[in-house]
């Protein structure tokens, strides 16, 4: 791990929604304030909508921390369900004894008793439904009916629907007009501009224990802002891979050159089934000479990997790594070497001789 190498106490760019790492950009701060105000005002139905990876779940966990001592809370993310399953998930999350055999009427009665009990104790009941764009319209209608649990003076339940823009599309349907009318506040999260991206990275590094100067150069930060499209989840992935590669190369500072390598490693277009085939000419030399008996031989090439070709069809048979007195391969040579192995493994028409060559290559790699 690179934590000790960079002077960090914990992973700064993890994949879990840890509220400690929440970075409040102006839009995140505004969305949090709106939802918090809506709960305090007892508005009943609220919504939070943003594209994937913007930190909705992290923000909502942070929100629940604020109400931990004053409310009964439930966080639901199992949205591929029917109405009965949803009610069972809800009662379970609220620590109610919801038997699998309970019918919908019994579950609603139990839920109503819970709400009245919490209201008498002066506590709110807050339910957050994450990934709400996946809910069937019938389940959304069930959730709407839950808002009918109320007294003449106050709503007994505060519901927050969080999801991707598809949730807005569903709520705009005429069949869900009653639910849409009940949503009094909608929070939105926009992508981070370049300067906010840099502040986001520095915030997470500081929380993780960085006390010195920034690890990323200005050029690297600009590249991360462009490659990530300002989406925090993308920023986390890019930074994690950059720190991993920087550690492997023993580089204390992440430069633009390292970010270029990271961008290439994370480029999925190279792996698409309909993508152009790998261009071996970028990393290969010309055909090698033949032996006196007409067979073909491996010739070490000081400029890079070597290509061995079979007489007659000109198809590549194997790549061999650079052999300069057992000198370590450069990053470019290592990547080209591994790409050559992948190229051969993907060739379903390779004869048995090819498989033997691949086996030889892998044995050479293990022994090097």
Q: For residue range 152-183, what is the model confidence (pLDDT) as tens digits?
A: 778 889 999 999 999 999 999 999 999 999 99
For residue 272 the two structure tokens come to 């698409």
Tens of pLDDT, residue by residue over 22-51, are 999 999 999 999 999 999 999 999 999 999
| C-alpha–C-alpha distance, residues 154 and 149, integer Å | 9
Q: 0.75 exceeded by the pTM?
A: no
User: What are the percentages of helix, strand and coil residues in the chain, rounded to 5?
Assistant: 50, 10, 40
| C-alpha–C-alpha distance, residues 102 and 111, integer Å | 12
Q: Three-state SS for 30?
A: helix
Residue range(s) of every CATH 3.40.50.300 domain in the chain: 26-189
Tens of pLDDT, residue by residue over 61-101, are 999 999 988 999 999 998 999 999 999 999 999 888 655 56
Q: What is the pLDDT of residue 334?
A: 53
Q: Are 307 and 344 in contact (CB under 8 A)?
A: no
Q: Are 19 and 58 in contact (CB under 8 A)?
A: yes
Q: What is the pLDDT of residue 295?
A: 42
Shortest CA distance to 236 belongs to which of 23, 59, 4?
23
N- to C-terminal Cα separation, the chain: 23
Q: Three-state SS for 135?
A: coil
Which residues lie across from 155 on neighbouring strands?
A: 150
Q: Three-state SS for 185?
A: strand
| C-alpha–C-alpha distance, residues 52 and 281, integer Å | 38
Q: What is the pLDDT of residue 297?
A: 40
Residue range(s) of every CATH 1.10.8.60 domain in the chain: 3-9+193-271
Which residues lie across from 74 on neighbouring strands?
A: 127
Q: What is the pLDDT of residue 298?
A: 42
| C-alpha–C-alpha distance, residues 88 and 107, integer Å | 8
Q: Which residues of the chain have pLDDT under 70?
A: 97-101, 271-368
Number of other CB atoms surrounding residue 340 within 10 Å: 24
Which residues lie across from 162 on neighbouring strands?
A: 48
Q: What is the pLDDT of residue 348?
A: 45
Q: Does domain 3-9+193-271 have CATH number 1.10.8.60?
A: yes
Torsion of CA 344, 345, 349, 350, to 10 degrees: 60
Q: What is the pLDDT of residue 64?
A: 93
* Domain 26-189 architecture: 3-Layer(aba) Sandwich (3.40)
Q: Which residue has the tokens 């198809």?
A: 315
Q: Three-state SS for 158?
A: strand
Sign (positive or negative) of CA dihedral 190, 193, 195, 198:
positive
Q: Which residue has the tokens 């990323």?
A: 216
Q: What is the pLDDT of residue 228?
A: 95
Which residues lie across from 188 on neighbouring strands?
A: 49
How buried is 78 (Cβ within 10 angstroms: 0-12 exposed, 13-18 middle, 19+ buried)?
middle
């Amino acid at each position: 791990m690179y934590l000790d190498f960079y002077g960090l106490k914990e992973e700064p760019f993890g994949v879990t929604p840890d509220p400690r790492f929440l970075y409040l950009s102006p839009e995140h701060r505004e969305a949090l304030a709106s939802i918090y105000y809506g709960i305090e005002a007892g508005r009943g139905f609220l919504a939070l909508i943003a594209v994937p990876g913007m930190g909705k779940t992290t923000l909502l966990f942070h929100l629940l921390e604020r109400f931990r001592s004053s409310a009964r809370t439930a966080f639901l993310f199992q949205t591929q369900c029917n109405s009965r399953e949803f009610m069972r998930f809800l009662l379970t999350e609220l620590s109610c004894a919801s038997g699998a055999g309970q019918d919908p009427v019994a579950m609603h009665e139990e839920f109503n008793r819970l709400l009245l009990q919490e209201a008498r104790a002066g506590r709110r009941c807050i339910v957050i439904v994450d990934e709400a764009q996946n809910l069937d319209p019938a389940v959304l209608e069930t959730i709407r009916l839950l808002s009918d649990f109320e007294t003449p003076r106050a709503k007994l339940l505060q519901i927050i629907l969080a999801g991707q823009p598809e949730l807005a599309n569903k709520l705009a349907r005429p069949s869900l007009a009653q639910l849409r009318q009940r949503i009094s506040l909608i929070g939105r999260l926009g992508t981070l501009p370049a300067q906010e991206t840099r502040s986001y990275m520095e915030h997470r590094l500081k929380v993780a224990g960085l006390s010195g100067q920034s690890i990323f150069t200005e050029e690297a930060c600009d590249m991360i802002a462009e490659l990530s499209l300002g989406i925090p989840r993308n920023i986390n992935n890019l930074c994690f891979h950059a720190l991993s590669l920087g550690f492997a190369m023993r580089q204390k500072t992440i430069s633009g050159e390292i970010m270029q390598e990271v961008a290439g490693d994370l480029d999925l277009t190279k792996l698409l089934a309909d993508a152009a085939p790998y261009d071996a000419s970028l990393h290969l030399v010309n055909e090698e000479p033949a032996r006196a008996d007409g067979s073909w031989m491996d010739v070490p090439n000081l400029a890079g990997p070597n290509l061995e070709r079979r007489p007659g069809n000109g198809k590549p048979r194997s790549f061999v790594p650079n052999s300069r007195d057992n000198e370590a391969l450069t990053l470019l040579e290592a990547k080209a070497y591994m790409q050559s192995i992948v190229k051969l493994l993907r060739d379903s028409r390779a004869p048995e001789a090819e498989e033997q060559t691949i086996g030889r290559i892998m044995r050479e790699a293990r022994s090097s």
